[in-house]
Structure 1
Amino acid sequence: MSIYIGNLSYEVTQEDLSQVFAEYGTVKRVQLPTDRETGRMRGFAFVEMETESEEESAIEALDGAEWMGRDLKVNKARPREERRPSGGNSWGGNNRGGSRRY
């Protein structure tokens, strides 16, 4: 399981997050997703800790805390939803034939 951290400053680094979360236990991994096109950080991150109790301590202490001028949103990360493949008929409608306007 991992922790979701939202409302992050765009200047935050993996090292910054590791240091903050290390106060609550062993940090196994930090992920800072970036925008594919701009390479800019997207304003959220994921942190994995050694144990669930460490994660719970970090969430309890940091959710709503001000850090780098922002109020953090910290909670258990939800499992990633599978995305449907893109492409194919993206026009909508019911594909039952009949006339279409393009």
Structure 2
Amino acid sequence: MKSVNTNTLIILAFLLLAGFFIVSKLTFLTPALAFVVGVVLTFIVCQLDLPTKSTNANTNPSSPAELTTLYIGNLPYRSKEASIKLHFEQYGYVDSVRLLKDRRTGKPKGFGFVEVASDAANKMIKKLNDTTFEERTLKVRLAKEKVED
């Protein structure tokens, strides 16, 4: 089921008020018929997928299909996910950052993955690959698909 956004609720309230005044002036409509017309109109309005305007360029993509995973190598071991996210957000939307750690020792491995908006991925690769981040030269590439055995 779709979630109802604010615009839909505003339109619904407007239709409710307009419908109340129109139906009260029409004497040939029975209360049951007026109810059915109201239900049908409400159903139609709730099914509308009204676009919302966005003023921020780094908005969340509408679906996971619009995300791309980037590999980040040569990370400093002291790097935190939040600092990497801030660094990458300069060039587009960042959904998540995963830094890998050794299972046995729990120490960072020095690489990770960043999920970004697909339209910003190439820009991030061009701008951030071979640049210095916390005194290390980053390697930024498209991540390869995980192969299941």
Normalised by the length of structure 2, the TM-score is: 0.53
- Give 1:68's aligned residue: 134
The yes-or-no answer on 1:30 pairing with 2:97 is yes
**Cα offset, 1:82, TM superposition:** 2.0
Within-5 A mapping of 1:13-52:
13-50=80-117, 52=118
Q: State the Cα RMSD in Å.
A: 1.0
- Give 1:96's aligned residue: none
Unaligned stretches of 5+ residues in structure 1: 84-102
- The structure with more helix, counted as a fraction of residues: 2
User: Which protein, 1 or 2, shows the higher relative CO under an 8 Å CA cutoff with sep ≥ 6?
Assistant: 1
- Aligned counterparts of 1:45 and 1:20: Cα–Cα separation in 2: 14
Per-residue deviation, residues 52-97 of structure 1 (Å, max 9, x unmatched): 22111111001000111111110100001224xxxxxxxxxxxxxx
- Aligned counterparts of 2:116 and 2:133: Cα–Cα separation in 1: 20
Percent of aligned positions that are identical: 35
What secondary structure sits across from 2:102 in the alignment? Answer: coil
- Aligned counterparts of 1:80 and 1:42: Cα–Cα separation in 2: 18
Q: In the comparison of the two structures, how many residue pairs are matched?
A: 82
Normalised by the length of structure 1, the TM-score is: 0.76
4+ residue stretches of structure 1 with deviation over 3 A?
none
Unaligned stretches of 5+ residues in structure 2: 1-67
